[in-house]
Amino acid sequence: MLSQLKQTILKKIEKAKDLKSLEDIYRRFLGRKGELTGVLRSLKDLPEKERREKGRLANQIKQEIEEKLKIGRGKFQVPSSKFQEEWIDITAPGLQPTVSHLHPITQIRQKVEEIFQSMGFSVVEGPEIETEYYNFDALNIPKEHPARDLWDTFWLKRDVIATPYLIRGKQSSRKQLTTGLPRGFASRNDGKKLLLRAHTSPVQIRYMETHQPPLRIIAPGRCFRHEATDASHDVQFYQVEGLMVGKDISVANFRGILQEFFKRFFGPEIKMRLRPSYFPFVEPGFEVDILKNQKSKIKNQKEGEWLELMGAGMVHPNVFKAVGYNPRDWQGFAFGMGLDRLAMLKYKIEDIRLFYSGDLRFLKQF
Ligand code: FA5
C-alpha cells in the first residue's frame, strides 16, 4: 500500500506543470492532513516490529518525495542566470564615471594663451560674425582689392551679430569691452554686409578702436573660409591673432617673442624661418614656417619640410589711421597663427579634418 502511494505521488510530481501543482501535491500528501503524513501518524498504533519496518519505509518514501519535489521546484523557479543578472553586490566599489576632456584644439589654445600671458599679453576675443568693414576695409583691403580673394568667406543675409565681444585679462578674468551696445552685440554695425570672419585680424581693429597704445594682445578664435578642403585646409579653423604696439616695436621684437614662444611650445629643437610675403594690413609682411627635426607625418610632406604656420608683419600705417592712431607716433607687429596647424605639428596629425570629424577614436587620444 505504501509503495503504491509512492508511485502515485511520483507520477503526479512528474506530470506537474508549475510550482502551484507541486505545492498542491505537497499539501495533499505531506501536509499536516496529508495522506503520507496520515500513514506516519497511524504508525504509533501498530505493533512494534511492524511499526519499525513500516516506519523506516514510510520515512524513506517521505525523503524521496521531498527530494523530487525540491528538484521539481528548481525546474519551475526563475532561471539562475536571471538571478545573476539582477543580483546587485552592494558592497562592490562604484563604477568610475567617464570624465570628458578638452578638445585638442582647446588644449593647444590654452597652452598658447598661457605662454603669451606669461610674456605680458592680454587675451581678447572678437565676434565670429563680422562686418565687411572690420574683416576687410579697416585692414586696408577696400572693395575690389584683389587680396579679398585670399580671404573669400561666407556672407550672411541677416543683420544680426550675436557673438559677445569679450576681453580677458592676464589672470584670465573675462570682462566685456564697453561697446555702448547690449551684451552680445558688436561695437559697430556700420550697415555694411555681414560675414563669417575669414581671419582674427578684425580683433586688432576692434581692440585698437577702444584702447590706447602701448599694448600687447593675443586674440584666439574661429575663422571661416570658402575654399576647398585638403589635409592642411578646412572651411573652419582656428587662428590666434597677435598684436604689439609701442613707440619702438620692431621686427626684432617680433622675432624674439616668436622664438621664445616656439621654444616653450615645442622645445628647444624647433626651427623657424621668416619668408617675405604680402598682406595689405602690414608693411613689410612675412610668413613664418616651422621645421620639425622629427619625421613629419603630415601628408605629402617629406621629412625636414617647412609648414606655413602664420602670416605676420609690421602694422600698416593705414590700419593705424583707421583706428585713429597717428602712424608717426606708433609702430608694432601683428601676426595670425593657425592653431590647427600648430596642433598638427605638436601631435603629428596628418589631416586637419580629423579635428572636426567628431570621431571619438581620434579625440580620445589627447
Ligand atoms: C591671415 O589670415 C592673416 N590675417 C594673418 C596676418 C595677421 C598677417 C596679422 C599679418 C598680420 P593667412 O591667410 O596666411 O593670413 O592665414 C594665417 C594662418 O592661418 C596660415 O598660416 C594657416 O596656419 C592658417 N590657415 C589659413 N587658412 C587656413 C585653412 N583653410 N585651414 C586651416 N588653417 C588655415
Burial class (CB in 10 A: 0-12, 13-18, 19+), 345: buried
Of the residues 58, 282, 322, 323, only one is catalytic, namely 282
Our answer to whether residue 282 is catalytic in this structure is yes
**Average pLDDT, integer, range 324-337:** 97
Residue-range domains of the chain with CATH: 2-83 (no CATH), 104-363 (3.30.930.10)
Tell me which residues have their CB closer than 6 angstroms to ligand 1. Answer: 199, 201, 225, 227, 233-234, 237, 239, 279, 281-282, 285, 308-313, 334-336, 338, 340-341, 352
Pull the grid cell for residue 58: 514510510
Give the active site residue among 188, 197, 225, 316.
225
Lowest mean pLDDT among 94-108, 112-126, 231-245: 94-108
pTM assigned to the model: 0.70
Report the binding-site residues.
283
239 catalytic per annotation: yes
Nearest CA residue ID for atom 9, ligand 1: 335
Higher pLDDT, 206 or 98: 206
pLDDT greater than 50 at residue 342: yes
Average pLDDT estimate for 105-132:
96
pLDDT at 18: 87
Highest mean pLDDT among 17-21, 82-86, 102-106, 178-182: 102-106
Q: What is the pLDDT of residue 294?
A: 54
Distances in Å between the Cα of 37 and the Cα atoms of 26, 32, 43, 48 are 10, 7, 10, 19
Q: Among 37-51, 129-143, 289-303, whose mean pLDDT is lowest? A: 289-303
Confidence grade of residue 174 (pLDDT, cut at 50, 70, 90): very low
pLDDT tens-digit map of 226-284: 999 999 899 999 999 999 999 999 999 999 999 999 999 998 888 899 999 999 999 99
Spatial separation of the C-alpha atoms in residues 162 and 180, rounded to whole Å: 15
Considering only residues 17 and 124, tell me which one the structure prediction assigns the higher pLDDT.
124
CB 130 within 8 A of CB 224: no
Instruction: Give the least confident one: 32-46, 216-230, 289-303.
Output: 289-303
334 is catalytic: yes
